[in-house]
Amino acid sequence: MEFDIYIAIIIFSIFCALNFGIYSLFFAIRKKKRNLFSISVILFSFCLFIYALEVTNVITNYSYLIWVNAPILYCIGPFSYLHVKEKLKLIDILHFLPFLAFLIYLTPFYLSSDSNKVYEYQHTFQSNSSSTTLTYFYLLHISIYFFLSFLMIRKRKQQYYHYFSNPSKKLNINQLEKVYLSFFVVTSISFVYGLLVEISNLYIFGFDYFTLTLLSILFIVLQLYHNYDSLELTPPYFNIAENKLKIINKKLIKTLEKVMKDEKLYQNPNLRIKDVSNKLNISLNELSASINNHYHQSFFEYINTLRIEEIKKELLNPNNKHLTFYAIANKSGFKSNSSFYRVFKKYTGNTPKSFIKEYS
């Protein structure tokens, strides 16, 4: 009964992984974006399928499928890593050397007769620790790649938050960070558990069952809680922090500054980036990217800068002595007194009162 439940979990996770991988890849292709992580998920689902055939011993009836998953396991880590890499280069093909080496190593086996494949499968790997050692190796391989990917995401995340104010894009990078961390934790736990079983003879749950159960649960959660396009981080969004838009739309910046100076759009406390993009008749992404790159600020930081500059002038204007600080701030676009004081202190290093004393 336990075995049947376990197989059911594996089969369901195969469906979840394959469904998620195919649909996320479909969305990426349709939007002309790069999504190599979906390829990793599809490959993972195929490896789970082969494993399901192995534990049920059905695979001996399909000898051409025996160990076809072995080299593929060494593609999962590289594809996942390259998904978060900003630019792909020819040298990145070196990440697939373990896959190529293992493929060459197993080629004689793949070309052998069906009876020989079944014999090797039943006697060679199942009679010694070779399969267990290889399991440790590919788990370590995948774990290292997910860890490196996670570190890259963390590094890019800081740049990403600095250069973009779009909440949906920030949500994407947060989701991607959680997914990669989850895969790293699962593969690492499985690797450590396997070592404990070998070293201390600790045995609570079969090593393969333990590993595949964790991965299956992870795939099911991935299917249930993530949108198909939520893991996309591709140009122009992802690489902009590093390339910093080599070509800056100077005409756009000039137009933006003129509109802000003449119409003082920043005085609207409910001003959104969409309002400005509509005013200038440009896309949200183009406006956001231009502001990010030219001023090294998000849209809201840029607007607050304009508000503070106007407030500084108004505070030093003798004709405004009868006005309260909040009245001046409210006229310049701040909704509340607390947000005004916080932003003013951040941008000037002074309170409004100390600013007047220092510069009047």
Q: What is the pLDDT of residues 99-148, one digit of tens each?
A: 999 999 999 999 999 999 988 888 765 554 555 567 778 888 999 999 99
CB 359 within 8 A of CB 311: no
pLDDT band per the 50, 70, 90 thresholds, residue 61: very high
143 and 175 together in one domain: yes
Q: Could you tell me which of 49, 52, 138 has the C-alpha nearest to residue 99?
A: 138
Domain containing residue 333: CATH number: 1.10.10.60
119 and 259 together in one domain: no
257 and 331 together in one domain: yes
68 and 193 together in one domain: yes
230 and 252 together in one domain: no
- Domain housing 130: 2-240
Q: What's the farthest any 2 CA atoms get from each other in the chain?
A: 98
| Tokens 């996320």 -> residue | 24
Which pTM was predicted?
A: 0.62
45 and 69 together in one domain: yes
Among 240, 269, 285, residue at a domain's last position: 240
pLDDT band per the 50, 70, 90 thresholds, residue 243: very low
pLDDT in tens, 29-42: 877 777 888 899 89
Q: Could you tell me which of 296, 28, 346 has the C-alpha nearest to residue 161?
A: 296
Among 187, 212, 240, residue at a domain's last position: 240
Cβ burial, residue 359 (10 Å; 0-12/13-18/19+): exposed
| Tokens 């980036």 -> residue | 273
282 and 178 together in one domain: no
25 and 109 together in one domain: yes
Among 225, 240, 255, residue at a domain's last position: 240
Q: For the chain, what is the domain count?
A: 2
179 and 230 together in one domain: yes
Distance CA(136)–CA(155), nearest Å, equals 29
CB 166 within 8 A of CB 291: no
185 and 217 together in one domain: yes
CB 208 within 8 A of CB 116: no
**Residue 241 scores a pLDDT above 50:** no
User: What's the token pair of residue 85?
Assistant: 């890499």
Q: Could you tell me which of 276, 282, 341, 336 has the C-alpha nearest to residue 302?
A: 276
235 and 281 together in one domain: no
Who contacts 226 (Cβ-Cβ below 8 Å, separation ≥6)? 20, 175, 179
Q: Could you tell me which of 7, 6, 11, 28 has the C-alpha nearest to residue 235?
A: 28
252 and 347 together in one domain: yes
User: What's the token pair of residue 238?
Assistant: 């992802």
Distance CA(221)–CA(269), nearest Å, equals 40
Write the CA distances from 166 to 27, 151, 270, 285, integer angstroms. 20, 22, 16, 9
User: What's the token pair of residue 251?
Assistant: 């005409």
